[in-house]
Structure 1
Amino acid sequence: MTKRSTLFTILIIFIINSVSAIKANIPFDACNNIDWATWSNFSGLKATGSINNGGDNVSVTMTSNFSFSSTPQIYNHVKFNAYPSPIPNTTVPRTTWSAGAGGTTEMCFSKTVTNPVLLLASLGASDGTRSKLTFSKPYVVLFDGGNMEFHDSYSLTGIEGFAIIMFPGDFDCVAVNSTTPENYTNITWGLRPPPFPINITETKGCNEATLTAS
């Protein structure tokens, strides 16, 4: 076997084994995993929580220019059953956007985070109440649970809407501006787990070497 054909064999085996190893060891759902906040303290205009992001504890603080409270679970949680990764049905903030026009809610993290994720449950109401939110950072839609209008990368409207959106980039804070009071919306924040490590294992033969990614 020539040197060129040996190198070609190494390359082909590396590609085949890398793909098969990744498929075998990294479940598809893992790409959709989100580490969600655990909320603990609610004091009128402020709430605090924590996110265990791959073993790194990140604090999250929610402040608003109007009062809000909490619920022991996410309203109509079954709407999120279609999301590929489980979402815990635990205590989350409950906001009515009661300030109307000029309402502001700011979410700040204890450190700069990458690609923070916002869950919205029951934004707006089935009676036709349209609740519009605008954001200080552009977002992308991860999950549309229905009854949502995504106007552009900075604003959206819910009419009893459910969604999960992500803010691509590195941030300390994200502001949510609201205009329309309603019964209530559940919201919570999460972070994508850190990227998984890839280990390369080399197996040598007489005329070839196999590199396996796992």
Structure 2
Amino acid sequence: MISGTHTVEIDTSPEALWDYLMEFDNWAQFVVGFQKFRIVDERTSVWTLRGDVGVLAREVDLEVVMLEQEPGRRATYSITGITERLEGTGTFEISPRGASGAQAASAARQAADAEPSTMERRKRQSWWRRLVRRWALATLRRQHGEYARAQRAESSASRSSGPAGSASAQTGAAVGLGAVFTFALEVTPGGPMAPMVEMLMRPLLAPSAEDFSTRIREQLEGTSHARD
């Protein structure tokens, strides 16, 4: 199994973010390799992706099923390959912005209390992780291509003329609200090529989660945040 998780803070209310996430049309274009999706029933949809990495080296159909939902806070989906042997889960988690403060303080204390040898090892590894992350993000952005750029331009235009996106961001900013959004993705390739597919996909999953959550933030806030 390989996994990727990323958390961002968004200047909108948790309720507005939840409503946004429950409409696939709002963010489908931010999924790497997105081609199309169709709704089967209230819990099931079928997605078609295309890409150039591992199992996504060609067009792939995936069945996505709602496993559990806690409205306003958390939704978990199963992912099952239809045309490829692949299983996984995707999770959306939302909390009010202030709820992340205690978590950040706890993480800082843990880092300060870490053994010196652990800290040194992390420093030695950090340059390699940054390099892989930058390469993976560049690859993901190339895969989005002209289609994603056109979709973002269209979404930006609709936000400026319609109430949905702009109202969410303005409401959050006006009353000082904010949401913390965490996207987590876990994937387990199958079949005889699974080890090779996993090796190819492993460096891309965490940057893919980052790219996805960052693009959602940009659309809801109507801004473009700097990325390294």
TM-score (norm 1): 0.28
Q: 1 or 2 for the larger relative contact order (CA 8 Å, sep ≥6)?
A: 2
Q: Which has the larger radius of gyration?
A: 1
TM-score (norm 2): 0.27
Structure with the larger strand share? 1
